[in-house]
Amino acid sequence: MEEGDTKTMGTTPTMRGLSASRGKTSGKVNHPVTETRSTDGETRRQIMLVMLKSGPVTATQLGETLGLSATGIRRHVDILVEEGLAEISQPRKTAGDKTRGRPAKSFRLTAAGRGQFGHDYDSLAAQALATLKETGGETAVKEFARKRVATIVEGVEIPTVEDADSLEKAAFALVEAFSESGYAATLTNAANGVQICQHHCPIAGVAAEFPELCEAEHEAIAMLLGHHVQPLASIAEGHDICTTNIPITPILTPTTKTPNERSGS
């Protein structure tokens, strides 16, 4: 059956109900809607919602559900596919299927498309840590936090000599490690040392409830450097940047370096 053939194409119960409710509300037969640029985003949102609720659907089914022309639907679906939010779903053949012709293309959301409708990872992680704390106590949470940050800084070499150059080099290696884990970190020379600045915290929502996560990061930095550090600010506490000060002498000239700038690229 070709995609444009609507005579033998049925609608799923969900979409039939949607179409019926639209008809009852207006009291008129649905006609294709003339779209403008300002409605394109909302239309694609509606298309994605139908895909989310109804599973793989054809352009014809989408058009019938939303009261849009097949041409308009295909244009939006093509954009969603190009952006990686939707994909073609291969039809499943069943025994005894004698349908003639090429089956109509069906479309479904990708993982990225489903992600557009939000997630609750922070809540899930917080619940998991709360359960861990109930069963193993605060010690268990701290141990988890230490293991997590140990994975992040794995491979960072411990300085063999505690001088300004060695500490700065090790601090920069830590910046690179945190950046690779999504922290968008930079190294800034301050009046009395250097500061590791994390411009993003991928666990800020959970760290606000479990400060052990931040404490483990500071502890790991201090242990790797063999030098005490001073936590100055935290995104989890409402600041714009997580800042950890590393006192170093002699005094260094204030400047800011990113991993790329440091490597000379």
Q: pLDDT tens digits, residue range 148-207?
A: 999 999 999 988 877 888 888 999 999 999 999 999 999 998 888 899 999 999 999 999
Spell out the domain ranges in the chain: 13-115, 121-263
CATH class of 13-115: mainly alpha
* Res 17 pLDDT > 90: no
CATH class of 121-263: alpha beta
Which residues on adjacent β-strands are paired with residue 247?
193
What's the pTM? Answer: 0.62
Burial class of residue 99 (count of CB atoms within 10 Å of its CB; 0-12, 13-18, 19+): exposed
Which residues on adjacent β-strands are paired with residue 106?
58, 89
Which residue intervals of the chain are DSSP H helices?
13-26, 40-54, 59-66, 70-82, 111-115, 121-152, 164-180, 204-207, 212-225, 259-263
Q: pLDDT tens digits, residue range 109-122?
A: 998 999 888 878 88
